[in-house]
Amino acid sequence: MPASITSITEHREATKSATPPLLSIVIPFFNEDEALIDCHARVVAVLDTLHQPCEIIYVDDGSNDGSWSQVIGFTANNHRVRCIQLSRNFGKEAAMTAGMANSAGRAVILLDADLQDPPELIPKMVDEWKRGYDVVNMQRKQRHGESWLKRATAHLFYNVINRLADINIPRNVGDFRLLDRKVVDVINSLPERNRFMKGLLSWPGFNTCMLQFDRDARQAGTTKWNYAKLIHLAFEGITSFSITPLRIATAAGVVTSIISVMMAIVLVSKTLFWGDPVAGYPSLMTVVLLLGGIQLLSIGLMGEYVGRLFIESKQRPNFILMNEQTAEPNTDFNLK
């Protein structure tokens, strides 16, 4: 490591005693070499207008396209840029966790590298924060550049999760939001391995406000999400914030048991008093298949929860840092 470069951990220690920066902008990325230069230029331009000490934390989530060397380049003449490299692709949730754990700012803003969340809105978010809000959620007015299927499934997802979960997960609010230090500290202290960020970020509560914005289309590159990942995320969200599906399974079991007892009484009485012949094969098959289906579904559902317990019980870390780089911690966060 060059003499002027120090590790993030040392930097954190050094900044503890010094005045912390006003803002930490956490930018997780995975193979974003086409978008990063623009992203950096726009973020720096916006931070310059704040005339306050700020830091930008780039988290490389296992990119293999040269994005890391790009962000390292950003640190060269800029005391405000810190770079963290994870040892492989852990997923955006883990990358954000790593960024927040290494942030020092009095507030943290989570931003996508693909510029779908316009950095120009940062000053507005800071204004709300200074007005006393601890969490500034950014709600998408429209979802430009997204297919009707994605919009429809997103709509369904919010309906289901808000009906099932114990906390309120605001509709169409992504990870782009401002969090006060006290909220970040709460989130950093949450030990769980299943990190469904939309839920975790809303879980602490505090004074929350909502700003609306038009979400832009992706600047360059392609989305890192596919439907399989999104379905996995939806399951993760529901199972880590609610046990209602288990209760529904129990209720289904109770209802089918009651119906079976009533049917048994009817069938036995008919046979005893009227000597009815055995009911037909089709009705028998329907009942057997229906019950089999309900049972398999309930076992699968239980498996989802048991699987999550299994993952939690192993207590593996959420991410592994491979590399960290930052400018010398002279703690002079001045802009130029």
Query: Which chain residues interact with Mg ion by CB under 5 A?
Result: 112, 114, 116
- Using CB under 6 A as the binding criterion, the count of chain residues that bind ligand UDP stands at 16
Closer residue to Mg ion, CB minimum distance, 122 or 183? 122
**Does 89 contact ligand UDP by CB under 6 A?**
yes
The piece of 101-109, 110-118, 250-258, 318-326 that touches ligand UDP (CB under 6 A) is 110-118
Query: What is the pattern of x (binds ligand UDP, CB under 6 A) and - over residues 53-72?
Result: --------x-----------
Closer CB to ligand UDP, 114 or 134, in the complex = 114
Task: Kindly tell me which residue out of 20, 22, 23, 30 binds ligand UDP, with binding defined by CB under 6 A.
Answer: 30
How many C-beta atoms surround the C-beta of residue 158 within 10 A? 17
29 binds, among ligand UDP, Mg ion, none (CB under 5 to 8 A by kind): ligand UDP
Q: Is 196 in the site for ligand UDP (CB under 6 A)?
A: no
Neighbours of 17 (CB within 10 A): 8
Q: x/- contact string, 221-240, with ligand UDP (CB under 6 A)?
A: --xxx---------------
CB of 283 to Mg ion, least distance (A): 52
Rule CB under 6 A: say whether 29 interacts with ligand UDP: yes
For Mg ion, which is the closer residue by CB, 67 or 116? 116
Name the segment binding ligand UDP (CB under 6 A); options: 27-35, 120-128, 201-209, 262-270: 27-35
